[in-house]
Structure 1
Amino acid sequence: MNSREIKLIAEELSIKTIQVEKAAELLSDGNTVPFIARYRKELTMALDEEQLRHIESRMLYFNKLRERKITIIQTIEKLEKLTPELMALIEKCVDAQELEDIYLPYKPKKRTRATIAKEKGLQPLADRIYGAEPGDLGKMAAEYLSDKVKTVAEALQGASDILAEHFNELADLRGFVRFTLQKEGLVISKAKEKSDKLADYEMYHEFAEAVETIPAHRILAINRGEKEDALRVTLDLDSEKMINLLSERVLGRRRPHFDFLKKVMEDSYKRLIFPSVERELRHLLSEKAEKQAVEVFAKNLYQLLMQPPVRGKRIIGIDPAYRTGCKVAVISETGNYLAGTTIYPTPPHKELVRSEAAITELVQKYKVEIIAIGNGTASRETAEFIASLIKKGKINVKYTVVNEAGASVYSASPIAKEEFPELEASTRGNISIARRLQDPLAELVKIDPKSIGVGQYQHDVNQNLLMEALDKVIESAVNSVGVDVNTASRPLLERVSGLNKTTARNIVQYRNEKGALRSREELLKVKGIGAKAYQQAAGFLKIYESSNWLDHSTIHPESYDATKKIFKKLKLNFSPESAIDIKYIKESGVLNIAEFAEELNIGRYTLNDIFEALIRPDRDPREEMPPVNFREDVLRIEDLKEGMKVKGAVQNITDFGAFIDLGLKNAGLVHISKMAKKFVKNPHEVLKVGQQVEATVISLDIIRGRIGLSLID
């Protein structure tokens, strides 16, 4: 990247240019974002993953921009129109749209009204009129009559067409129109008369909102309505005002032939400039809305992946259904499948006695403590059935409703067949429901993230952009938690910094053939893991079977020697038991961190991270997230009343609010205006997926199953 691009990124992030330079160098050298964020803090001055992702994204943007510039320069060179001034303008440009505006006059065109007029020899007439040559236009135009141009009117129309195209190609003029449309324009939508989708878009039948302030979710809703042929969508700007402004800006009132040129400007604006800028801006609005929707989806997914695991419990997973019955699976404390059956407590069968006996037997035989119920079809009735068993005292368990999105996708996937080759797909699905409560991260990485369903308009956004963002989220979550190399599934290993599908598969194969790995260093014996992959991955892979207890920690092998020096200089035994002494020394303030780091010849960030890893060796960032909400009873929508206090968990967050799981068929909605007494710009500032909240019921529509909630006391 050049200095201008580096400076621009630094300004966007409010950081120093040297930080951008170092981050860019590390990324260009093939280092992963998680590795740089955790183990190269000295070089970047502790840039976090979000900042590094932004730098990475902008690097790709500027690389594509450079490639586009090369193509444009080559094209203009072939036309022999590349001047030093134009070259400088192109090289200076850092915005893709601005670059296209510069290129527009030189871009190869289809045959237009202007090119036809030029073919008739009317360019000189256009130049004379625009060049403010005084005189009678009729007489001037008469000089250009020929076999191709029969009348004065035809000559003037041709000149008008040439000038209209010229005005359309003025980069400053287009930029002004684009800026004004962004600041003063309106997004307009109207219902199409003949459409069977009109009811879905009632809000947008006669709708107008400022381009500058319209939220992302409304842009996506309008786009969907237009795609389904239910809405007609346009952008609106005061055309008369704009034509006057542009005429004054480009022509000046005292210019000869002003009235003629103003009509040319009107034609250019209405026929060429505005429709083109409108298309550009609609594309920009959609792109921005898609990006924002993807960001919301990514944040929701991260919070879902980082839900705290329910460790050390035997769990029953139930995949509810009506006609085909509820599939039941029991898993052990480590997620192994123990037993399964099918029960029919829901309509049309309602075999309550047999179903009660089956669940009671499984709970007692396998000492089950928790039941996880999928939130799909018949979830409500299944929860009532389990709650009744608890109330009768037949089983001593608690239950929770689990988001089952993607369970069916997993059950038919190659990884599910690999894990449970002897089981039917329907049984694999309920195992997944139980496991995603036991360890959400380990289970959900096996599922296509688009199938997990924690975002708005996820099917309306750019799917490549969505997948790229979600892959980064999963990578971030997996590396934040770390992975037990000897128990992790192949999909989980694939997401570790420095590893890929091939090396993850090779690790699993190595384990199968030679048993558990006994040290981080042994990773180098796995096929495909060279020095670079080892460097990027080692710190995120924990090996509890190792005799070197540092292999259980987040301390990178490159810092092992420094860690041993710490113990030696502090005169402590080199063992995990000395962690309490290190904690005391660090927190007492007797140690000058800066001087001690210099003495050890390591950076202060690295020293602090080593201390943190020693003091909290088993830290799992997921434990800092809100715990799972377990229930023993069941709530019905008929039980609710306005003003009533209810407890629930945040199920999903959107731009306009958050959906709260109350244990009912439908979640309640907290609108963004009801989240806090202060103004809330982004719901993620207030809530997280999985967070437990107490809310007040402020509106009820029992027939439609809609519940309005407020978090404001």
Structure 2
Amino acid sequence: MSSTDSLTSSAVSANAQGLDATTQANIHDKLARKLGIKTAQVNAFVKLFDEGATVPFIARYRKEKTQNLDDAQLRALEKSLSYERDMASRRLKITELLRAQGTLTDELQARIDNAASKLELEDIYLPYRPRRRSPAAKARAAGLDSAAKALLTQEITPTQALADYQLPSSVTDDSGNEIDVDFSDLDKQLAGVQAIIVDEWTQALDLLDNLRSGFAKTASVVTAVASEEKREVGEKFKDYFDHSESLARLPNHRLLAMLRGRQENVLGIKVDGEDAPFIEKIINHFNIDATAPSERREFLIEAANSLWKDKWRPHIEHRLLTEKRLAAEADAIDVFANNLQHLLMSAPAGPKVILGVDPGIRHGVKMAIIDAQGHVMLDSSDKPVIATVYPFAPDNKMDEAKALIDELLSTYNVDLVAIGNGTASRETDAMIKEILSANPSLQAKAVIVNESGASVYSASELASDELADLDVSVRGAVSIARRLQDPLSELVKVDPKAIGVGQYQHDVNQNQLADSLDKVTQDSVNAVGVDVNTASPAILTHIAGLNRNVAQQIVNYRKEHGAFSNREALKDVPRLGVKTFEQAAGFLRIRDGDNPLDATGVHPESYELVNSLLEHTNKDLSEIIG
């Protein structure tokens, strides 16, 4: 699904999720406070967004409606809107479930309404989630709840509470299905009563909040090597073979490293902390220490231990680690997105003749020359200007390599040499610079280029279409040259995750990462705009309003009918409807066409206004855009 498709499907989610007008208004007010903008701005964005408008289109062409919100603010608003709508929908569902159970109280409703995260919302519902086969559910089905209630409200022993208990001949669940239970002796009956008490106590959410907060301040995360045989293969994780530090102060990058170690079965991770202070708080909360006789007190203290050790502590540990992981992933994804944006928006070298160099040792240094338009240059025999040299061990044909490169640089008047930063990059760079210094007539300059993902592109279907006559091993050199000439147009051909935008990109939520990087790519492409008569399907896909299918339709139409002479001609492209044209037209440029405005960022809907202003000011269009 394209970005536009996902935006559109998300846009209608408010109605699909059954959110009423009051709920949506509350969400808009909350987003305004959170992002430090006006509610009217949120309302304007949501209206446009729900009508299917894309963020780049709103940022560029609907500024007057959103009161000049920029693309960064709109992306933050889009993300928060989706989250809050999901939260509101889940709140509604949980409220309905609790009301149907007859357990919804004003206090619970207030908690649900004030929950700040999805994790917190699920924590509220957890004690009330139906568990038909849990020990407590079985004990209740067997009629032990009256004994549990008596023990909690009367100063009697557990045995006395069970004095009148009669084991039913058959036990059924809420659906009337017979279930297999065994409460035939006193010990099993006592265990059932205790399970019911512990289950009742789990509903003390204020206490749980207090314990979680206290445990979070003192807990440590502890890592250890999984086994002795993992010491050697997991050498990169050696800092965590016997490690402990405060969970609250654990840096994001170290947590991600620990989690990677666990994923690779090298490390074990656990959350460490005290038990006694928190069990004592449970005892005090339920006034267990003030009760008598001692047999009852011991039974309830045992229940308090079970509540903490078997129920709450594992849950608290999981939630704290999950919250920490989610925060670390969100931070990492932001870093990856920023790194990608810097790469995509790198200054292009422009229309230069470039020698692309893909360094290597055993398999040689691959080279290809591209012309000012980015096409692989052809020699006098109409063959691609490509070559492979072997200057390094084991071949050591340095002199031969230098002679051939010197000849290429001289013959084709190369302006720049783009050298990939992979294996043997430094050695190749040094060799190129020796060639340039030895021949003063050469005007080329050497530049190191990030080659991450070039091999992925080389083996892709897109590369096979674009460079069908070239071997896979040489396509990387072409991509490296194009990355220097026009970084944005070339890098959009590669999956952003293959470009190497961060150290832990494989350890975060892949859907969220892909979504974030896709939005960065879309914003970057639309910020620049593309020439619709030269653009590849890869870059057209990221234009606001377009998806992969429509992008390919544009290219197919262009091949069949020739270059577009004006933006209006885009309407003849199959599957490019009115709404799509509205969203995309301003970002699709046509150079040297019928209308000079088609080469600008002015949207066709504003042409009449521009012409009117020109007439009013007695100016020619060439004076404005020349």
Give the structure-2-normalised TM-score.
Answer: 0.86
Amino acid across the alignment from 2:282: L
Q: Aligned residue for 1:226?
A: 262
Q: Aligned residue for 1:673?
A: none
Return 5+ residue gaps in structure 1 as ranges.
580-613, 618-713
Alignment of 1:584-663 (within 5 A): none
Residue among 424, 428, 435 paired with 2:471: 424
Shift of 1:105: 3.1
Work out whether residues 366 and 389 of structure 2, in 8 Å CA contact, stay in contact via their aligned partners in 1.
Answer: yes
Shift of 1:210: 2.6
Partner SS state of residue 448, structure 2: strand
User: How many equivalent pairs are there?
Assistant: 578
Given the alignment of the two structures, is residue 211 of structure 1 paired with residue 232 of structure 2, yes or no? no
Given the alignment of the two structures, is residue 191 of structure 1 paired with residue 225 of structure 2, yes or no? yes
Work out whether residues 164 and 265 of structure 1, in 8 Å CA contact, stay in contact via their aligned partners in 2.
Answer: yes
Partner SS state of residue 453, structure 1: coil
Higher strand share: 1
Partner SS state of residue 470, structure 1: helix
Partner SS state of residue 187, structure 1: strand
Deviation per residue, 1:180-224 (Å, 9 max, x gap) = 343442222123342244422121123223333322211111111
| Structure-2 separation of matches of 1:25 and 1:209 | 48
Deviation per residue, 1:44-94 (Å, 9 max, x gap) = 122222222222223322343344445545655665656787667656656
Partner SS state of residue 347, structure 2: coil
Given the alignment of the two structures, is residue 345 of structure 1 paired with residue 391 of structure 2, yes or no? yes
| Structure-2 separation of matches of 1:519 and 1:504 | 17
Q: Aligned residue for 2:512?
A: 465
| Structure-2 separation of matches of 1:365 and 1:38 | 45
| Structure-1 separation of matches of 2:574 and 2:167 | 79
Given the alignment of the two structures, is residue 163 of structure 1 paired with residue 197 of structure 2, yes or no? yes
Amino acid across the alignment from 2:147: L
Work out whether residues 526 and 587 of structure 2, in 8 Å CA contact, stay in contact via their aligned partners in 1.
Answer: yes
Q: Aligned residue for 1:278?
A: 317
Shift of 1:32: 0.4
Between 1:147-156 and 1:344-353, the stretch displaced more is: 147-156
| Structure-2 separation of matches of 1:259 and 1:47 | 63
Work out whether residues 288 and 301 of structure 2, in 8 Å CA contact, stay in contact via their aligned partners in 1.
Answer: no
Given the alignment of the two structures, is residue 313 of structure 1 paired with residue 313 of structure 2, yes or no? no
Partner SS state of residue 208, structure 1: strand
Q: Aligned residue for 2:58?
A: 36
Computed over aligned residues only, the root mean square deviation of the Cα atoms, in angstroms, reads 2.5
Alignment of 1:465-484 (within 5 A): 465-484=512-531
Deviation per residue, 1:603-650 (Å, 9 max, x gap) = xxxxxxxxxxx6xx7xxxxxxxxxxxxxxxxxxxxxxxxxxxxxxxxx
Residue among 4, 13, 27 paired with 2:49: 27
Deviation per residue, 1:390-440 (Å, 9 max, x gap) = 232264421111111111111111111111221111121110010000000
| Structure-1 separation of matches of 2:598 and 2:73 | 29
Given the alignment of the two structures, is residue 392 of structure 1 paired with residue 438 of structure 2, yes or no? yes
| Structure-1 separation of matches of 2:263 and 2:413 | 53
| Structure-1 separation of matches of 2:618 and 2:152 | 87
Work out whether residues 145 and 152 of structure 1, in 8 Å CA contact, stay in contact via their aligned partners in 2.
Answer: no
Alignment of 1:172-571 (within 5 A): 172-194=206-228, 195=230, 196-251=232-287, 254=290, 260-338=299-377, 339-393=385-439, 395-569=442-616, 571=617
Residue among 28, 45, 50 paired with 2:67: 45
Alignment of 1:125-140 (within 5 A): 125-131=147-153, 133-140=154-161
Work out whether residues 315 and 372 of structure 1, in 8 Å CA contact, stay in contact via their aligned partners in 2.
Answer: yes
Deviation per residue, 1:641-679 (Å, 9 max, x gap) = xxxxxxxxxxxxxxxxxxxxxxxxxxxxxxxxxxxxxxx
Residue among 123, 135, 141 paired with 1:101: 123
> Per the alignment, do residues 296 and 347 of structure 1 end up closer, same or farther by CA in structure 2, a change over 3 Å counting?
same
Work out whether residues 101 and 174 of structure 1, in 8 Å CA contact, stay in contact via their aligned partners in 2.
Answer: no
Work out whether residues 435 and 443 of structure 1, in 8 Å CA contact, stay in contact via their aligned partners in 2.
Answer: yes
Work out whether residues 288 and 300 of structure 2, in 8 Å CA contact, stay in contact via their aligned partners in 1.
Answer: no
Partner SS state of residue 2, structure 1: helix
Shift of 1:110: 5.5
Work out whether residues 189 and 222 of structure 1, in 8 Å CA contact, stay in contact via their aligned partners in 2.
Answer: yes
Residue among 54, 58, 61 paired with 2:80: 58
Higher helix share: 2
Partner SS state of residue 337, structure 1: coil
Deviation per residue, 1:126-179 (Å, 9 max, x gap) = 112223x23444433444376965665554433222212222343333333333
Partner SS state of residue 346, structure 2: coil
| Structure-1 separation of matches of 2:251 and 2:553 | 47
| Structure-1 separation of matches of 2:262 and 2:544 | 42
Amino acid across the alignment from 2:394: P
Amino acid across the alignment from 1:432: S
| Structure-2 separation of matches of 1:222 and 1:209 | 12
Partner SS state of residue 268, structure 2: strand
| Structure-2 separation of matches of 1:420 and 1:178 | 59
Alignment of 1:82-161 (within 5 A): 90=112, 93=115, 95-109=117-131, 111-131=133-153, 133-144=154-165, 154-161=188-195
Work out whether residues 482 and 541 of structure 1, in 8 Å CA contact, stay in contact via their aligned partners in 2.
Answer: yes
> Per the alignment, do residues 92 and 304 of structure 1 end up closer, same or farther by CA in structure 2, a change over 3 Å counting?
same
Q: Report the identity percentage.
A: 39
| Structure-2 separation of matches of 1:59 and 1:317 | 45
Shift of 1:300: 0.3
Q: Aligned residue for 1:685?
A: none
